[in-house]
Amino acid sequence: MNRKEHAFLIRGVRKIHRTLGATLCLFFLVVSLSGLLLGWKKNSNGLILPKSHYGISRNLKDWLPFDSLHTIACSALHFSVNKNLSIELERMDARPQKGMVKFVFKDHYWGVQVDGATGKVLHIERRRSDIIENIHDGSILDYFFKTEGEILKLIYTSVMGLSLLIFIITGFWLWFGPKVMRRISKRNRL
């Protein structure tokens, strides 16, 4: 490849890099800020990721049945937050080492921590870390548009992942390409 062809290639790579950056800069900003918040979630003093509270017994033999704990969590959610919230579970996180069960609900960003042995409500929490995670991976779009199969998340992560890969390749070539051009020029002068 001669110097002129190489210069043409670098101009094309620069145009791809610039156009992609200008087109997706807002999305990259969202991904970077949400990723930063997720990295700090365990060190946020409960602001992003709620602290796990402790129940009185680690022995599962002392615990109430899970359906009773679930009923207590749902009642606490309706009484303390909003009686119209769905009680459909996303997950139930049993933590015997902490003596508690965490109930995370599906259609909203609330959770309830319940003492496994007594059924006492330990904490009702706004799940900010889940909101931030859904923004970060694009699943918030499926949540708002009520799409099946997380198709918008798949499109979003594919576009962002491929864009980042293209940025890496074009960015490397914008750094390395001029070095190659200098070598070509030096060789042609000799």
- The answer to whether position 46 is within a domain reads no
Which range of residues forms the domain containing residue 55?
Answer: 51-126
- 26-80 pLDDT per residue, tens: 999 999 999 999 999 999 999 999 999 999 999 999 999 999 999 999 999 999 9
CB 70 within 8 A of CB 78: no
Task: Count how many domains the chain has.
Answer: 2
Q: How far apart are CA 182 and CA 38, in angstroms?
A: 43
Encoded tokens for 89: 């579970």
State the number of CA atoms in the 13 A half-sphere of 34 facing the CB: 19
Which of 76, 98, 126 is the C-terminal boundary of a domain? 126
For tokens 């610039």, name the residue.
18
| Residue 6 confidence class, pLDDT cut points 50, 70, 90 | confident
97 in helix, strand or coil? helix
Q: Are residues 83 and 140 in the same domain?
A: no
Distances (CA, A) of 57 to 63, 72, 99: 8, 18, 5
